[in-house]
Structure 1
Amino acid sequence: MPSAVPSSRGSSPVLRLCRFAAMGTVAALILVAGVWASWGTAQYVMLTKGRERGTVEVGRCGAQTCSGPYAPSSRGSQPRAEVVLEKSVAVEEGGTYPVVLEPDGERAVRSGPAGILYAWVPLGGALLLASVVVAGGLLRTRAAWVLASSGAVLLTAAFLAI
């Protein structure tokens, strides 16, 4: 005699598809947000053709930024009495750092390998976060390990370079 209570051994294909679509969308949004957050700085560091390049000797640091005189190293760039550089753990007073100036000419972004890796740190964090969503929501452990490993390598390389 058949039972009146439906079996709950597995979820319906429609629910699995909805879960897959929702978690895939969340993972994709996390990765897009990581790229978006990184590209704001990375574009200046990676696409330097036609941009002003030089060095900044940090004279003083505040809570969020450091500043100092700018010495140009690229053709057409003019020296400036003061440019602003984002304060990070690797920027200290008295240090000289290679930079690329943003188009307004007042803000500088670290350049070179350390600057490139530092610019992509938000993507590294997004890769780590997306790996949790992919593993838990999509049940794709291999893809999650690839994402997590990529994020960890990026963050470690940025830490070592800076």
Structure 2
Amino acid sequence: MASTGMTKRSRTRRAGESAYGLLLLAKNVAMALVALLILVAGMWSSWADAKPAMLTKGLERGTVTMADCGDDWCTGSFTAARPGGDSHGRVRIDEAVTDGVGDRVPVVVKPGTDEAVRTGAAGVLHAWAPFAGSLLLSALVIAGGLGMRRTAWALGLLGTALMGASFATLTV
């Protein structure tokens, strides 16, 4: 009888191999969902400030002159860009987008609030900073959990570039 080089595996071994494959698939699906959740959370967090910073049509635009700064927020008087614009008196803005008391910053006021968002390249890039952080964090999950190193490098470099651009435009 000629040997074909194939040995028959036992039923137990075949079941164990398929169960291990199922566990690997479940792990990969779980890691992909975690990475997706991190990216969606970063996008969601950024969109609250990015939307008014990017889509200013129909919103009250103007400048804020900083009068007082605390730990996280600065307040100042709002001057509308168009004559006869709505009077908002004092508005508050994130302290990270200003140089402190006396600084004048172009802003748009969020509808129905006294909160202003910086406009221009610096404001838009700062608004997307949480998404940049989620890109960096998801890159670690994708590299470690999924083993997709090139994709992880691309996401990590994109997140680093976005965060660096935000920092660079705010310090100029």
TM-score (norm 1): 0.90
Residue 75 of structure 1: how far off its partner (Å): 6.4
Select which of 41, 50, 54 maps to 1:42: 50
SS at 1:12 equivalent: helix
- 1:120-139 aligned at under 5 Å gives the runs 120-139=128-147
Q: Distance in 1 between matches of 2:52 and 2:84?
A: 17
Paired residues for 1:12-161 under 5 Å = 12-74=20-82, 77-88=85-96, 90-161=98-169
Counterpart amino acid of residue 99 in structure 1? V
**Structure 2 counterpart of 1:100, one-letter code:** V
Q: Deviations over 1:19-56 (max 9, x none)?
A: 11000000000000000000011111111110000000
Unaligned runs of 5+ in 1: 1-5
C-alpha distance in structure 2 between counterparts of 1:50 and 1:144, whole Å: 39
* CA-CA distance at 1:89 after TM superposition: 6.2
SS in 2 for 1:103: coil
Task: State how many pairs are aligned.
Answer: 160
Between Structure 1 and Structure 2, whose CA radius of gyration is higher? Answer: 2
Larger helix fraction of residues: 2
Q: TM-score w.r.t. structure 2 length?
A: 0.85
RMSD: 2.4
Indicate how the Cα distance of structure 1 residues 48 and 89 shifts in structure 2: closer, same or farther if over 3 A, else same: closer
Deviation at residue 83 of structure 1 after TM alignment: 1.0
Residues in 2 aligned to 1:105 and 1:145: alpha-carbon distance in whole angstroms = 40
Query: How far off its partner does 1:94 sit?
Result: 0.5
The offset of 1:126, in angstroms, is 0.2
Shifted more, 83-92 versus 116-125: the winner is 83-92
How far the C-alpha of 1:76 sits from its partner, in A, is 5.8
Give the CA deviation at 1:79. Answer: 3.7
Which shifted more, 118-127 or 58-67? Answer: 58-67
5+ residue gaps, structure 2:
1-12
